[in-house]
Structure 1
Amino acid sequence: MKSVLKSVLLSGIALATVQAASATDTSELEARLAALEALVSDLKSELAEEKAKRDADIVRLETSSQSVTTPESANPVDGMRIGDTIVKVGGFVDLDAHVTNLSDGSFGASSIARDFYIPGATPIGGEETTATDFTAQATRFFISANRDIGENKVAAHIEMDFLGSMQGDQRVSNSYSPRLRRAFLDFNNWRIGQEWSTFQNTSAIPESASFLVLSDGMIFERQAMIRYTAGNWQFALENGNATITPVGGGRIEADGNLIPDVIGRYNFSGDYGNVSVAAIARQLRLESGAIDEETFGYGLSVSGKLNAGARDDIRFALTAGEGIGRYIGLNAANGAAIDPVTGELEAIPSVGGLIAWRHPFAETARLNIGYSGLFIDNPDFAVASMTESTQSVFGALLWDLAPKVTVGTELMFGQRETKGGDDGNITRFTFSTKYAF
Structure 2
Amino acid sequence: MSDLRKQLNESNARIGTLEQKLQKQNTKREEAIATSMRVDRSNKEEARPVAESNAKDATKIPGTNTSLTFGGFAKLNAIFNSVSVGANKFGDQYLDIASIPVGPSRQGEHDQINFHAKQSRLWFKSHTPSKLGDISTLIELDLFGSQDTYTPRLRHAFGSFGKFLGGQTWTTFANSSAIPERLDFGIPAGGIERRQPQIRWSQPIVDNLVEMQLAFEMPHSKVIKDMDTTIITPGDDRYPDMVLRFNSNQDWGTVSLATLGRQIRISEASGMNQKSWGGAISAAGRINIGTLDNIRFTFNYGNVLSPYVSTGAYADAAIKASGQMELITIHSGLLAYQRHWNDQWRTNIIISYSHADLPAYVNDSLTKKAYSAHINLLWNPRPQILFGLEYLYALRELQNELNGDLSRFQFSSRFNF
TM-score range, shorter chain: 0.7 to 0.9
Which of 171, 174, 178 aligns to 1:200? It is 174
Structural mapping, 1:272-311, within 5 Å: 272-289=252-269, 290-311=271-292
Structural mapping, 1:231-380, within 5 Å: 231=204, 232-247=211-226, 248-289=228-269, 290-340=271-321, 342-380=322-360
AA partner of residue 178 (structure 1):
P
Partners of 2:53 and 2:127 within 8 A in 1: no
The verdict on how the C-alpha distance between 1:333 and 1:73 changes in structure 2, with shifts beyond 3 A counting, is closer
Structural mapping, 1:91-110, within 5 Å: 91-102=72-83, 106-110=84-88
C-alpha separation in 1, matches of 2:289 and 2:133: 38
C-alpha separation in 2, matches of 1:259 and 1:75: 39
Q: Which has more radius of gyration?
A: 1
AA partner of residue 208 (structure 1):
R
Structural mapping, 1:210-229, within 5 Å: 210-212=184-186, 215-229=188-202
- Which whole-Å deviations, capped at 9, do the CAs of 1:171-211 have from their partners, x for residues lacking one? xxxxx221000101111111011110000011111111222
C-alpha separation in 2, matches of 1:270 and 1:393: 29
Task: Report what 1:185 is aligned to.
Answer: 159
Q: State the 1:319 CA deviation.
A: 0.2
Quote the RMSD (CA, aligned, Å): 1.7
1:413 aligns with 2:386: no
Which SS does the other structure have where 1:254 is aligned?
Answer: coil
Task: Report what 2:99 is aligned to.
Answer: 121
Task: Report what 1:148 is aligned to.
Answer: 129
Q: State the 1:148 CA deviation.
A: 2.3
Q: TM-score, length-normalised on structure 1?
A: 0.78
Task: Report what 1:12 is aligned to.
Answer: none
AA partner of residue 206 (structure 1):
P
Higher helix fraction (1 or 2)? 1
Which SS does the other structure have where 2:95 is aligned?
Answer: coil
Task: Report what 2:39 is aligned to.
Answer: none
The verdict on how the C-alpha distance between 1:308 and 1:80 changes in structure 2, with shifts beyond 3 A counting, is same
Which SS does the other structure have where 1:327 is aligned?
Answer: coil
- Which whole-Å deviations, capped at 9, do the CAs of 1:356-403 have from their partners, x for residues lacking one? 110001330001112100011001111110111000111100001223
Which of 76, 79, 82 aligns to 2:58? It is 79
AA partner of residue 132 (structure 2):
E
C-alpha separation in 1, matches of 2:386 and 2:304: 39
Q: State the 1:163 CA deviation.
A: 1.2
The verdict on how the C-alpha distance between 1:77 and 1:260 changes in structure 2, with shifts beyond 3 A counting, is farther
Partners of 1:305 and 1:315 within 8 A in 2: yes
Partners of 1:209 and 1:397 within 8 A in 2: no
Q: State the 1:73 CA deviation.
A: 9.6
- Which whole-Å deviations, capped at 9, do the CAs of 1:301-323 have from their partners, x for residues lacking one? 00011101222100110000012
The verdict on how the C-alpha distance between 1:429 and 1:89 changes in structure 2, with shifts beyond 3 A counting, is same
Partners of 1:112 and 1:164 within 8 A in 2: no
Identity %: 31
C-alpha separation in 2, matches of 1:137 and 1:283: 35
For structure 1, the 5+ residue unaligned runs are 1-71, 170-175
Which SS does the other structure have where 2:307 is aligned?
Answer: helix
- Give the total of aligned pairs: 354
The verdict on how the C-alpha distance between 1:73 and 1:113 changes in structure 2, with shifts beyond 3 A counting, is closer
Which SS does the other structure have where 1:253 is aligned?
Answer: coil
C-alpha separation in 1, matches of 2:357 and 2:121: 37
